[in-house]
Amino acid sequence: MRVSPSEAKTKKPRQLSYKAEFITLSLIVAIAALIGLNYSVMKAALDHTTPLSLAALRTSVGAPFLLAFVLFRKEKFPRKREQWLAIWWISLSITTVSSLFLVIGVSYLSAGVSAMLASTMPLFTALIAIALLKARPGKLGISGVGIGLVGAVVLAVPALGAGNTTLGVCMLLISSISWALGAVLNKKQPAALEISPTMLVAMQIVMSCICLHLVVAFFGGWEQTAWGWGLYWPLLYAGIPSLAISFVLFATVLRRAPAIQGAAVAYLSPLFGVFFGWVIRGERFGIIEVLGGALVIFGVVAVSFDGRRRL
């Protein structure tokens, strides 16, 4: 059967669109896996240091790694005042405030509950995007948000138990709101789009490193940090794959996708968080986790392929 030239023209863009959606979805899964493992890794690191110190130390590892990478690639540093201001606000919301409250929250909560609360970030992203970007998701996206959040709750329910406190819950919610704000700001500020994702994240983490070390100097100190390989190994993961690499991938997703779709990373994080908690820390993994994981995956696919309205 022959295909007319007009039909060929319509098929090629559609194929390219499917390919782009697949790449974006693959990046979302990779980021979620890196972040999901980080919950168990941070719990191990917190056996040797305080939450404030860990938040600062992971940026101390991630910042030099990304700086070396951008220098190797000879990327251009930001030169405009507007670019530096955009980096500052995104850095303050995502890699400083959100990361700080994330580590503090994890110190009070189990890995499963932390993952569940982090999965609320897409809801806050949607609300902030509606307020600041005057945008609306399509029906498929709204359904995906609801199903994904239900799945995240079902997934994390078995992890509820001793050691979970109201303070930890509040810390994780603040972290989610701050991250959501940064995700929307990344789309809202044109100056940020003039910088490569790698350079943007490198400068974010450098700024966060300075801010978080000042926080430790004023409120914490290093007296309770036990230096040794018990801290160094989880710190290397928390600083490079979990922070530097995942944030670069996340910034790339935000360039390719709407803010709400980029926030779909949080749907899959509980699935990986519970899985790695089971493998590394011996946490429960049964039929409830399978059901919750299936709902989460269905939700993230629905949001990822919501093409009716793009932010």
How do residues 11-39 score in pLDDT, each as one tens digit?
Answer: 445 554 677 777 777 888 888 889 889 99
Range of the domain at 193: 38-135+162-259
Task: Check the CA dihedral 228-62-176-101 and report its sign.
Answer: positive
Task: For residue 1, name the pLDDT band (cuts at 50, 70, 90).
Answer: very low
Residue 265 belongs to a domain? no
Q: What does the pLDDT read at residue 285?
A: 61
Q: Is the pLDDT of residue 90 over 80?
A: yes
Residue 195 belongs to a domain? yes
CA diameter of the chain: 75
Task: List CB contacts of 3: < 8 A, sequence separation 6 or more.
Answer: 11
Q: What does the pLDDT read at residue 10?
A: 47
3-state secondary structure of 255: helix
Q: What does the pLDDT read at residue 310?
A: 47
Q: What does the pLDDT read at residue 183?
A: 79
List, for residues 239-270, the tens digit of each pLDDT value: 999 888 888 887 777 676 665 566 667 667 87
Instruction: Count how many domains the chain has.
Output: 1
Backbone angles phi, psi at 15, to 5 degrees: -65, -40
Residue 283 belongs to a domain? no
Residue 25 belongs to a domain? no
Backbone angles phi, psi at 290, to 5 degrees: -65, -45
Pairwise CA distance, residues 84 & 226, whole Å: 36
Residue 287 belongs to a domain? no
Residue 12 belongs to a domain? no
Cα angle 239, 205, 260 (rounded to 5 degrees) comes to 95
List, for residues 273-300, the tens digit of each pLDDT value: 878 887 887 776 667 767 877 787 777 7
Residue 78 belongs to a domain? yes
Burial class (CB in 10 A: 0-12, 13-18, 19+), 169: middle
Task: List CB contacts of 138: < 8 A, sequence separation 6 or more.
Answer: 306, 307, 308, 309
Q: What does the pLDDT read at residue 46?
A: 92
Q: Which amino acid is at 100?
A: L
Q: What does the pLDDT read at residue 57?
A: 94
Residue 217 belongs to a domain? yes
Pairwise CA distance, residues 56 & 88, whole Å: 17
